[in-house]
Amino acid sequence: MEAYTEALCREIAMQGSLFAAAGQAVTVYIGGGTPTALPLSLLERILRTVQRCFPLAADAEFSVEANPGTVDAAYLAGLLAAGANRLSLGVQSFNDRLLQRIGRIHTAEQARQAVFMAQAAGFKNVSLDLMYGLPGQTLADLAASVAEAAELQPQHISIYGLQVEEKTVFFRQQQQGRLQLPDEAVAETMYDYMTEELPRRGFIRYEISNFARSGFASRHNLGYWQDVPYLGMGTAAHSYWAGRRQENTVDIAAYIRQVMEGKLPAHEEEPAARSLHMEEFCFLALRTVQGIDRQKFVDKFDCTLESVYAPVLADMRGKGLLAVDDVGVRLTTRGMKYGNVVFAAFLL
Amino acid sequence: MQTKNIRNFSIIAHIDHGKSTLADRLIEYTGTLSEREMEAQVLDSMDLERERGITIKAQTVRLNYTAKNGEVYELNLIDTPGHVDFTYEVSRSLAACEGALLVVDATQGVEAQTLANVYMALEHDLAIIPVINKIDLPSAEPEMVKKEIEDVIGLDTSNAVLASAKTGIGIEEILEAIVHDIPAPSGERDKPLRALIFDSYFDSYKGVIAHIRLMDGRIRKGMQLRMMATGKLFEVTDVGCFRPAPVDVDELVAGDVGFVAGSLKNVRDVRVGDTVTTVVNPAAEALPGYRGVTPMVYCGLYPVDSADYDSLKDALEKLQLNDAALVFEPETSIALGFGYRCGFLGLLHMDVIQERLEREYHLKLITTAPSVIYHVHKTDGEMMAIDNPSKLPTPQEIDFMEEPYVKATVIVPNDYVGAVMEVSQNKRGEFKTMDYLDTNRVMLIYHIPLSEIIYDYFDQLKSMTRGYASLDYELADYKEAKLVKLDILLNGEAVDALSTIVHVDNAAYRGRQLAAKLKELIPQQMFEIPIQAAIGNKIVARENVRAFRKDVLAKCYGGDITRKRKLLEKQKEGKKRMKSVGSVEVPQEAFMAILKVH
């Protein structure tokens, strides 16, 4: 971990000078992985290196991802002191049985305490992740977790449906018929419940999976969906810089070696073709509730949305998936459920 | 070459008994091609043919052979297709010959198709030389096969040659037998020209090239010739023989087999079975012609992308240039748009054409269910020949219907007789005869509706008899039958391209089968899709494709973006292969899978 932290700080230093020419950073996000798997001293060092090497805006949003079982009051205080001003906790559920079922190392109580401690330490911007569609989960379970999450008064809640990926334990269990996921109809009810209940409790939806109190949307994540360039540092980190997407080497040992040799560990990708840029611009913007802003499209691509997408707009609108007006186009409630259908239509 | 030293012969056999290998060996032995020039199965020039191990087009080759007696002979070999679909090609080739090599696999014995082809050769009065092939195999039983030939066909096997085309045994004996046992052609080169056209193909430079057998007379470049049936006049631009590639010669004379070209642009001017004669001093009478070619099986061919319609038309026209048996005419379907109704000799023919359209012309196609030709007798006395279920008149207008039956000959080992009977009875077959070919094998003859044959009869036969059954069939007659139209409705709308005509006894079962298959193949969409099979107003089967509830990626942050875009691209590609049938997206594969019924 020492070696990795050392290497990461080196990369931060190298990138910082590149970045400075572009201006100030408006957001920082420390994620992974599990940042809080590091001892505080190492994580602190990383945060301070960022502060030192990158010009940060005065009101920059500085987020750190934390695992509820790995932080205590001292740790949190340390993070705050090192410059963090937003905390994202991977809670997932406030039901111990479910937490165990999905292999989490923390308990509901620990999750609760983590939130209290963060708030007590002085974090004014706390986000919680919740999941639905978990094996053995009922609508009642979900409702209870949502209620508890809301009552803890975080500023932001993200909700994710469980997706079984290949080569995972869940995948194997599913193959063997040992994974009892809620059926399609129930999963849909869970999704509907959350998307209705959270706003009722004051968390406004701003993206397919993200809800926040007014003024507390994650600016960093909004950047992903609004075509804002960013630099990623660390093993397997992604960047979107100078119009091209890049990824750092995924092998930790190789990463450390390359950085210590003074090389930037990114794999070059080809610069995005205009059509690719347009596609990504569209399907990413459509993830947000505001959708695609017509003026922004014109500013970026020097042509109107209609000139490229008129038949697509008509088709999606006809299917009740897209709302179209003078300001822009965005997914309807139904459209959010069938997002992929709409996104695919915007491919050229 | 003196006429007395010419021999014209064909090789006839069941599929895979070694016909093509033997032809290769003869070519090689006589030095017609050097070893280097020999490519295996050299006479099967199409990739498809080589891949599937079948011959589709008949081709000829002239071999020069110096016999044991020291004389040089011109041996014209005409290769023949070995599949029941192409019976007419076999017949034409045989008419150009005086003799035939009957090739029988020493490990298999006489098979259904062997019989069909032998009977045809006998009808043409050919001298037949039995060749017992594959004697190199340990399981070869040449004596038993010889006896079988004598008993079943009634052929004398005293001049039979034991051979192995693969290892080269018996090749010289075969050539000697051809010289001695097959008569030289009769006919005189000084009589007026009469040449039989037994095949043709289109060459983009020379126009239509006719394969001919001269019965009388001679042909040289520059001569003015006339097609006796069509009346077409032309001047000979090229005349020659095949080695097996076309080679020009100065002259073809009575008894020869070769080709002639005359800047003929239209393949319909060159009618197979027609006689070619000279303009000056023509022959008094044409040679006896053949029976015409009638398609037995029809289907609709539609492009997945309607923009490809013209390309499909173009492709069909080009294929027809070399395949006079293919017929087609424009057709429209409410479900599928504009396409063509195509007639084929049989399922293999249909299969081959479809594959050539996809492979050589890069067309993505949807085929409707293959249909036979039904005779619909209307209440007003009119009889309609219907090959398209959508054209069926309303039940009120129909007095009765008839469907084509075939005489199906099946040869199986003893143990599987029961299985064959079961399959055939399930297919509404009428048992006709059963004969023992030898202690082990039985020949059964059934009369079965052609529509049942094309709906997976052969596959069932093969699987129930572990592959041992061989099948041959020919059109027998038309019989009255209780037939109905089975319709498929997707989301409440009838899809005309999915309609079929079925026997009333099968209808409900077939409807359930189709509905179940469609349910598997139609992907979930944003709304539920009811699938129904109906006969008139009565629903006989019902299935449902559930709607998918959600289709969206929950997390999409920086590192996910590229991966996500690739997934969307795949999703979009998938959509391209769908055809919108009303409001339902049906993948091209779904049409192919349900309706490709063999």
Going from the C-alpha of A9 to that of each of A5, A15, A85, B103, B191, the distances in angstroms are 6, 10, 20, 82, 103
Phi, psi for B37 (deg, rounded to 5): -80, -15
Residue B312, min C-alpha distance to chain A (Å): 27
Q: Strand ranges (DSSP E) for A252-315?
A: 266-267, 292-293
With beta carbons under 8 A apart, name residues in chain B contacting A345.
572
Residue B571, min C-alpha distance to chain A (Å): 7
Residue A124 · residue A132 · CB < 8 Å = no
Q: Which helix (H) or strand (E) element contains residue B441?
A: strand B441-449
* Residues B320, B315: Cα–Cα separation, whole Å: 9
A184 interface with B at CB cutoff 8 Å: yes
Phi, psi for B471 (deg, rounded to 5): -130, 140
A48 interface with B at CB cutoff 8 Å: no
- Cβ contact (<8 Å) for A187 and B548? no
Extract the tokens encoding A274. 């205009």
Residue A333, min C-alpha distance to chain B (Å): 12
With beta carbons under 8 A apart, name residues in chain B contacting A279.
565
Q: For residue A164, what pLDDT band results from cuts at 50, 70 and 90?
A: confident
- Cβ contact (<8 Å) for A280 and B561? yes
Query: Within 10 Å of residue B435's Cβ, how many Cβ atoms?
Result: 11
Percentage of residues of chain A with pLDDT beyond 90? 75
Nearest chain A residue to B570 by CA: give it. Answer: A344
- Cβ contact (<8 Å) for B558 and A224? yes
A236 interface with B at CB cutoff 8 Å: yes
Extract the tokens encoding B578. 């769908």
The whole-number average pLDDT for the span B481-487 is 92
Q: Give the pLDDT confidence of A36-63 residue by residue, as tens digits.
A: 889 999 999 999 999 999 999 999 999 9
Q: What is the CA radius of gyration of chain B?
A: 27
Phi, psi for A103 (deg, rounded to 5): 75, 30
Instruction: Tell whether the model's pLDDT for residue B393 goes beyond 80.
Output: yes
Nearest chain B residue to A230 by CA: give it. Answer: B558
Using DSSP's 3-state secondary structure scheme, residue A330 falls into strand
* Residues A241, A21: Cα–Cα separation, whole Å: 13
Q: Give the pLDDT confidence of B30-61 residue by residue, as tens digits.
A: 888 776 666 655 555 555 555 555 555 556 88
- Cβ contact (<8 Å) for A284 and B548? no
Phi, psi for A101 (deg, rounded to 5): -60, -35
Please state, rounded to an integer, the average pLDDT across all residues of chain A: 92
> What pLDDT does B82 receive?
52
- Cβ contact (<8 Å) for A208 and B554? yes
* Residues B214, B192: Cα–Cα separation, whole Å: 11
- A 241-280 residues with CB below 8 A of B? 245, 247, 269, 276, 279-280
A343 interface with B at CB cutoff 8 Å: yes
Q: For residue A107, what pLDDT band results from cuts at 50, 70 and 90?
A: very high
Query: Within 10 Å of residue B87's Cβ, how many Cβ atoms?
Result: 23
- Cβ contact (<8 Å) for B572 and A344? yes
Instruction: Characterise B151 by phi-psi region: left (phi > 0), alpha (psi -120 to 50), beta (else).
Output: alpha
The whole-number average pLDDT for the span A6-20 is 89
Instruction: Tell whether the model's pLDDT for residue A10 goes beyond 90.
Output: yes
Extract the tokens encoding B277. 């004669």
Q: Which helix (H) or strand (E) element contains residue A47?
A: helix A40-53
- Cβ contact (<8 Å) for A191 and B550? yes
A224 interface with B at CB cutoff 8 Å: yes
Q: Which residues pair with B99 in a beta bridge?
A: B9, B127
- Cβ contact (<8 Å) for A160 and B554? yes
Using DSSP's 3-state secondary structure scheme, residue B206 falls into coil
Of A137-151, B124-138, B281-295, B393-407, the range with the lowest mean pLDDT is: B281-295
What is the distance of C-alpha A303 from the center of its chain? 30
Furthest-apart CA pair in chain B: how many Å? 90
The whole-number average pLDDT for the span B123-149 is 90
Residue B153 · residue B127 · CB < 8 Å = no
With beta carbons under 8 A apart, name residues in chain A contacting B525.
none
> What pLDDT does B598 receive?
32
Residue A238, min C-alpha distance to chain B (Å): 5
- Cβ contact (<8 Å) for A224 and B561? yes
> What pLDDT does B13 receive?
79
Residue B25: what residue type? R
- Cβ contact (<8 Å) for A283 and B558? no
- Cβ contact (<8 Å) for A340 and B575? no
Higher pLDDT, B506 or A214: A214
Mutate which: B556, B569, B575, vs A, most A CBs within 10 A: B556
Closest by CA to B227, choosing from B263, B264, B276, B193, is B276
A284 interface with B at CB cutoff 8 Å: yes
Phi, psi for B195 (deg, rounded to 5): -125, 135
Residue B309 · residue B331 · CB < 8 Å = no
Which residues of B have a CB under 8 Å from any CB of A? Answer: 526, 546, 548-559, 561-562, 564-565, 568-569, 571-572, 575
Closest by CA to B595, choosing from B297, B306, B293, is B297
Extract the tokens encoding B256. 């020869």
> What pLDDT does A92 receive?
94
- Cβ contact (<8 Å) for A184 and B548? yes
* Residues B182, B69: Cα–Cα separation, whole Å: 16
Extract the tokens encoding A342. 């709409």
> What pLDDT does A292 receive?
96
Instruction: Tell whether the model's pLDDT for residue B129 goes beyond 80.
Output: yes
* Residues B111, B438: Cα–Cα separation, whole Å: 12
- Cβ contact (<8 Å) for A344 and B562? no
Of A273-287, B272-286, B415-429, B452-466, the range with the lowest mean pLDDT is: B452-466
Closest by CA to B182, choosing from B434, B7, B384, B444, is B7
Q: What is the CA radius of gyration of chain A?
A: 21
Extract the tokens encoding A341. 């259908």
Please state, rounded to an integer, the average pLDDT across all residues of chain B: 84
Buried b (16+ CB within 10 A) or exposed e, B538-554: eebbebebeebbbbbbb
Three-state SS across B98-137?
CEEEEEEECCCCCCHHHHHHHHHHHHCCCEEEEEEECCCC
A176 interface with B at CB cutoff 8 Å: no
Nearest-by-Cβ selection for B568 from A236, A319, A340: A340
The whole-number average pLDDT for the span B574-584 is 78
The whole-number average pLDDT for the span B383-401 is 89
Using DSSP's 3-state secondary structure scheme, residue A263 falls into coil
Q: Which residues contact A331 (CB under 8 A, 6 or more apart)?
A: A208, A286, A291, A321, A322, A323, A339, A342
> What pLDDT does A177 receive?
83
> What pLDDT does B597 receive?
41
CB pairs under 8 A between A and B: 85
With beta carbons under 8 A apart, name residues in chain B contacting A191.
550
* Residues B502, B392: Cα–Cα separation, whole Å: 12
Q: Give the pLDDT confidence of B525-562 residue by residue, as tens digits.
A: 888 999 999 998 899 999 999 888 888 888 889 888 88
Highest mean pLDDT (candidates A293-307, B82-96, B227-241):
A293-307
| Tokens 């347009």 sit on residue | A278
With beta carbons under 8 A apart, name residues in chain B contacting A185.
549
The whole-number average pLDDT for the span B174-198 is 91
User: Between β-strands A210-212 and A204-207, what pairing exists: parallel, antiparallel or unpaired?
Assistant: antiparallel
- Cβ contact (<8 Å) for B558 and A238? yes
Closest by CA to B92, choosing from B103, B81, B102, B83, is B81
Q: For residue B230, what pLDDT band results from cuts at 50, 70 and 90?
A: confident
> What pLDDT does B125 receive?
87
A237 interface with B at CB cutoff 8 Å: yes
Q: CB-based burial of residue B421 (10 Å sphere; 0-12 exposed, 13-18 middle, 19+ buried)?
A: middle
Residue A340, min C-alpha distance to chain B (Å): 5
Q: Give the pLDDT confidence of B304-346 residue by residue, as tens digits.
A: 888 889 999 999 988 887 676 788 999 888 778 899 999 987 7
Nearest chain B residue to A248 by CA: give it. Answer: B559
Instruction: Tell whether the model's pLDDT for residue B84 goes beyond 60.
Output: no
Q: Give the pLDDT confidence of B354-372 residue by residue, as tens digits.
A: 888 988 888 888 888 778 8
The whole-number average pLDDT for the span A279-295 is 95
Q: At what angle do helices A2-20 and A40-53 cross, to 10 degrees?
A: 10
Residue A277 · residue A243 · CB < 8 Å = yes
The whole-number average pLDDT for the span A170-177 is 84
Nearest chain B residue to A232 by CA: give it. Answer: B558
* Residues B368, B503: Cα–Cα separation, whole Å: 18
Q: Give the pLDDT confidence of A198-231 residue by residue, as tens digits.
A: 999 999 999 999 999 999 999 999 999 999 999 9
> What pLDDT does B54 receive?
53
Q: Where do runs of H (alpha helix) occur along chain A? A: 2-20, 40-53, 73-81, 96-101, 108-121, 139-151, 169-175, 184-200, 219-225, 252-260, 274-285, 294-301, 305-318, 333-337, 339-345
* Residues B49, B52: Cα–Cα separation, whole Å: 5
> What pLDDT does B580 receive?
80
- Cβ contact (<8 Å) for A247 and B571? no
Q: Give the pLDDT confidence of B445-456 residue by residue, as tens digits.
A: 999 998 888 777
> What pLDDT does B59 receive?
66
Q: Give the pLDDT confidence of B416-465 residue by residue, as tens digits.
A: 899 999 999 988 999 999 998 777 788 999 999 988 887 778 778 877 88
